[in-house]
Structure 1
C-alpha cells in the first residue's frame, strides 16, 4: 500500500533522478525532501559542505524539481529549505510523515535516533525505506550565482494549481530572503485575456496554496500573500523591497517595475531570473516550458466528446434528438408548444419549425416558458431510456443539463467548454447566425465559470481532434478506476 506522505532524506543530491524514480512507486500524495549529509549531523550542516552561500543551492533545487517533473508527475514534491538555511532542531512538515526514505544505508540505531530526535510530525505506524545510491563525495559546487541574500524579496503570478514552475519561483524567493517574502497573486479581473481563464482556481484557493507551500518549505520567514489587481502590485510602491524573482521569460516585467520605482524615487530592485523546467513530455501544441501562467452549452464541442465516448461503448442520450422526437405531431410537446406560441411555429408539414421557434424564444423571456413546457417531458423520456438499457455507463448529452436540474439523475457532471469568442464563431458558421444572434444564444445560458464550478470533469476541444480524444481516453481510464 502506498504511503500518503513521504520524507526523503538526501545525502547525494547528484543521484536525485534515480532516487525519485524509485520513490514514485512508494508515495501517493506528498513527498518532502530534506538534504542532510549524515544523520548524526545537525540540520543546516548540508549547504556549508557543498556551497558557500544559500543562493548557490538554487541549481540543486532546479535539478530536483526538474527530475520531479519527469519522475513524479503525480506527487506534490516539496524541497525543505529550513533544514538547509538554519540549524533548526527538528524537521517540521504540515502533513504527518508515514514513510521515511534514505538514499544510503544507516544503522538501525542511527535511524531510530534520527526519527525520534529530528522529525516533528510523524504517524504512529510509519515505515522506513532505504534506496541506496552509493557513497557521497562532497565537493563544493562551482556555480556562478549571485550570492547575495536580501531582507525582503517579492514575486508575482497567477499561481493556478501550484506546479513545478511556481515552486521554483517561490523557493528562489524564500532561499534569497532572510526576513520577508511578498507574493502578489493575480485577481480575476486580470485573467480574462488568458485562454480558458474560467478553469483557473478561485483567488482564495490560489492564495492558500501559496501560503501552504511556503510555510512548509521555510516557516521561519514572514510571508505577505497579497491579491493584486494590476500587473505590478506592491513592487512599485514598497521601499523595503530589495529583490524581485521572475522567470527568464518575464525579465522585461521586472525591468518595467524598476522604471516605475525610479519614477517614484524608489531604489530599483535586484532582478533574479529563474530558469523554468522543460516540459518532460510535451505535445506539439504545448509550450516547451512548464509555464507559471459533459456537458456544457451550445457550440462548445460536447458532441465531439460524446462521439469518442460512444466509441468506448457508452450509451449516449442526445437530449436535442429526444426533444426533436417529442416535438413531432401527436407527441406531448407538440400540442403544448402550438397552444402557447400559435400556428406560426408550424412548418408546412405540420411539424414544429425549430428555427422559427428559436428565433422567437432566444433573447427574451419566452425561452423560460418553452423550457417549462418541454423539460419535464424530456426528463421523463431520458429516464425511460436509462431504465431500459443494459449499458454500464450512460451519458446524457444536454446543453441545459445544469439549468434544467437534470444533474440529479447523474452520478457525475462532465462539461466541455471553449472561449466565448470561439463559441460565437462556431455558432455563426454552424447555424448560419448573425453575430448578434450567436451572442444572444450564448447569453441565454450560464457563463463558463458556472459549468466549471459544478463539473467533475472538464474537457476543452479547442485543439485538433486527436488531443480531444486523448482527454476523453484519460477521463475514461480514471472513470473505470472510480467504478471499481
Structure 2
C-alpha cells in the first residue's frame, strides 16, 4: 500500500478508480514507476511540527514528482496511521507554531511553481471565548484528489539499520531450527515473499492467516486481493505482540529484530586487526561513513572522551598548500590553470576536472592519498608524545584509500541514504540530485559496514548518540586493557 523506495519521504495510496483494470497487487510498482502522473493529490502531514519542519523540503519535492497541478495539504500532527483502526481527523489549535508552519509550507511550495498548493483549514481552530467550536464537516474539493500522500514512513522495505540485518539464509536456518525444536512432527514451508501477499494471496488451499496487531491490515489487504481473484477469504487470527520490558526510549516497545540491531551499535562485530607496525601503546581507530552521516560529530564526541583525533580533511588542506608535499606533483599533473592568482590550488576547479572522470580521479588520489597517510602517521607520533592511548583517524575515504591497513579497528557511522541526502541539502545548499550524486561516488553504507569492526548511528536525538558513543568507548577501553601492546 505504501510505495517508499522511490519516494522515500511519502507513503502513497491511489484510489481504485484511478487505476481501472489494475489489481491492487501491482499498485506499488505502478505508482513508483511514474512521474507527475496525477493532476491532483491530498498530502496528509502527521509528523509533529518540530520534527516535520526540517523534512518539509524533501517531502514537497517528492510530492511534486507525483502531482502536477493541485496539491491539497491536510495538517494533522500526531495522527496515528498504525494499527487496524481507521485514522480519524481531529481539531488542531491555531497556535503560533501552526501559523508559522503554514507560512513556512507556502514558502517552500514556491520552489515548485507547477504546483497549486492549498492548505485545508477545516480542522484548524482558534481558541475563543466568544466563538463556538466549529462543527465537523466534509470538505468538497474543487479538484478531488487522484492520489493520497502521507509523510508517514513504515519500515516495510526500509528496515531500520538494514546494514545489520541478519542474512536471509541464517534467518531461515534459525527459524527452521526453532520450529523443529518446539514440535518435531510439524510440517512447514519457509517461502520468501516476492510480492506484497505471497501464498496468502494466491494459494486456494489456505484456510486461515495468523497476523499481529501490526500486520492485521496486511491480512485484510490479502483478503481483498483474494476476493478480486475469486478466492475465498481467509480467517484472520490476531495475536498480541510480546512487549520488550527492557526497551530504551528510542526503541520499539515490542520484542523485535530492530531493537536487536540497535543494540549491536557500539559493540565489536569482528576481531580487531593486529598492527605491530603502529606506534607502541597507541590503539588506532579508523572512523568513516557516507557524507552526511554525522561522522565528524562522532569524532568530536570521541575527542571529548579522551581520544586524539586526526582530521583527514585538515591533512588534505596541508597536503595541497603551496608548501605541502602534494602541491608540486598535483600542479605538474593537472597544469597551472588549476591555481588561483596567489598560487593556491583552486580545489573547485580541480574537483570539476576529476569528478566523474575515473582516470583523472585515480591520478589525483595516487598522488594525494599516500601523502595524507604519511601525514597521519606523523600525527600518530604526536599523539604518543601527548600521552594518548587512543587515536581516531576521521576519514570519509578511509577504505577507498586503503587506510584500514594502518588502524586496529574500522568504525562506521550509518544513516539511511534519504536522511543523508536531507542533511547534505540542508548543510551544503545542494540540490537533491547533487547530494545523491555525491553519495553515488562513495561506498555505500552496506559496503562500509561489511568491512567494519564497530557500527554507530546518528539517526536519533543527540543524547542517544552520546550514550551510544560512550558505550562504544567503554567497551573499547576493556579491549585495550586486554591487548598486550597497550602495556608496552
Same fold by TM-score, threshold 0.5 exceeded? yes
- Say if 2:319 and 2:325, in contact at 8 Å, map to a contact too: yes
Gaps of 5+ in 1: 1-189
Matched, 1:370 2:367: no
- 3-state secondary structure, aligned to 1:349: coil
Question: Counterparts of 2:312 and 2:376 in 1: how far apart (Å)?
Answer: 8
Question: What per-residue deviation string (whole Å, max 9, x for no partner) do you get for residues 164-195 of structure 1?
Answer: xxxxxxxxxxxxxxxxxxxxxxxxxx964445
Matched, 1:437 2:430: no
Matched, 1:414 2:411: yes
Shift in alpha-carbon separation, 1:386–1:213, aligned structure 2, 3 A: farther
Aligned residue among 292, 301, 308 for 1:308:
301
Offset of residue 473 of structure 1? 1.1
- Say if 1:363 and 1:441, in contact at 8 Å, map to a contact too: no
Shift in alpha-carbon separation, 1:359–1:241, aligned structure 2, 3 A: same
1:280 is matched with which residue? 245
Higher-Rg member (1/2):
1
Question: Counterparts of 2:457 and 2:180 in 1: how far apart (Å)?
Answer: 34
Offset of residue 404 of structure 1? 1.1
- Say if 2:290 and 2:444, in contact at 8 Å, map to a contact too: no
Gaps of 5+ in 2: 1-154, 259-286, 483-488
- 3-state secondary structure, aligned to 1:332: coil
Matched, 1:473 2:470: yes
Question: Counterparts of 1:473 and 1:453 in 2: how far apart (Å)?
Answer: 23
Shift in alpha-carbon separation, 1:301–1:336, aligned structure 2, 3 A: same
Offset of residue 388 of structure 1? 4.5
Question: Counterparts of 2:357 and 2:157 in 1: how far apart (Å)?
Answer: 27
Matched, 1:217 2:182: yes
Matched, 1:386 2:380: yes
- Say if 1:428 and 1:438, in contact at 8 Å, map to a contact too: yes
Shift in alpha-carbon separation, 1:213–1:344, aligned structure 2, 3 A: farther
- Say if 2:227 and 2:233, in contact at 8 Å, map to a contact too: yes
- 3-state secondary structure, aligned to 1:316: strand
Deviates more, 1:340-349 or 1:286-295: 286-295
Q: Which runs of 4+ in 1 moved over 4 A?
A: 281-284
Shift in alpha-carbon separation, 1:323–1:224, aligned structure 2, 3 A: same
Shift in alpha-carbon separation, 1:482–1:460, aligned structure 2, 3 A: same
Question: Counterparts of 1:425 and 1:361 in 2: how far apart (Å)?
Answer: 25
1:269 is matched with which residue? 234
Question: Counterparts of 1:192 and 1:372 in 2: how far apart (Å)?
Answer: 39
Shift in alpha-carbon separation, 1:443–1:480, aligned structure 2, 3 A: same
- 3-state secondary structure, aligned to 2:364: helix
Question: Counterparts of 2:332 and 2:157 in 1: how far apart (Å)?
Answer: 44
- 3-state secondary structure, aligned to 1:228: coil
Question: What per-residue deviation string (whole Å, max 9, x for no partner) do you get for residues 333-377 of structure 1?
Answer: 111111122223223332222233223322332322211110111
Pick 1 or 2: higher relative contact order, CA cutoff 8 A, min separation 6: 2
- 3-state secondary structure, aligned to 1:396: strand
Offset of residue 321 of structure 1? 1.0
Question: Counterparts of 1:412 and 1:218 in 2: how far apart (Å)?
Answer: 43
1:458 is matched with which residue? 455
Offset of residue 452 of structure 1? 1.8
Question: Counterparts of 1:433 and 1:384 in 2: how far apart (Å)?
Answer: 35
- Say if 2:243 and 2:254, in contact at 8 Å, map to a contact too: yes
Matched, 1:299 2:299: no
- Say if 1:317 and 1:382, in contact at 8 Å, map to a contact too: yes
- 3-state secondary structure, aligned to 1:427: helix
Shift in alpha-carbon separation, 1:203–1:420, aligned structure 2, 3 A: same
Q: 1:50-199 to 2 correspondence within 5 Å?
A: 192-199=157-164
- 3-state secondary structure, aligned to 2:188: strand
Aligned residue among 197, 203, 214 for 1:249:
214
Aligned residue among 423, 427, 430 for 1:426:
423
Shift in alpha-carbon separation, 1:349–1:196, aligned structure 2, 3 A: farther
Shift in alpha-carbon separation, 1:218–1:402, aligned structure 2, 3 A: farther
- 3-state secondary structure, aligned to 2:465: helix
Question: Counterparts of 1:373 and 1:351 in 2: how far apart (Å)?
Answer: 17
1:395 is matched with which residue? 392
Offset of residue 307 of structure 1? 0.9
Question: Counterparts of 1:405 and 1:335 in 2: how far apart (Å)?
Answer: 23
Aligned residue among 190, 195, 217 for 1:230:
195
Question: Counterparts of 2:340 and 2:228 in 1: how far apart (Å)?
Answer: 70
- 3-state secondary structure, aligned to 1:212: helix
Offset of residue 290 of structure 1? 3.6
2:344 is matched with which residue? 351
Shift in alpha-carbon separation, 1:413–1:319, aligned structure 2, 3 A: same
Q: How many residues align?
A: 295
Matched, 1:331 2:324: yes
- 3-state secondary structure, aligned to 1:414: strand
Offset of residue 300 of structure 1? 1.1
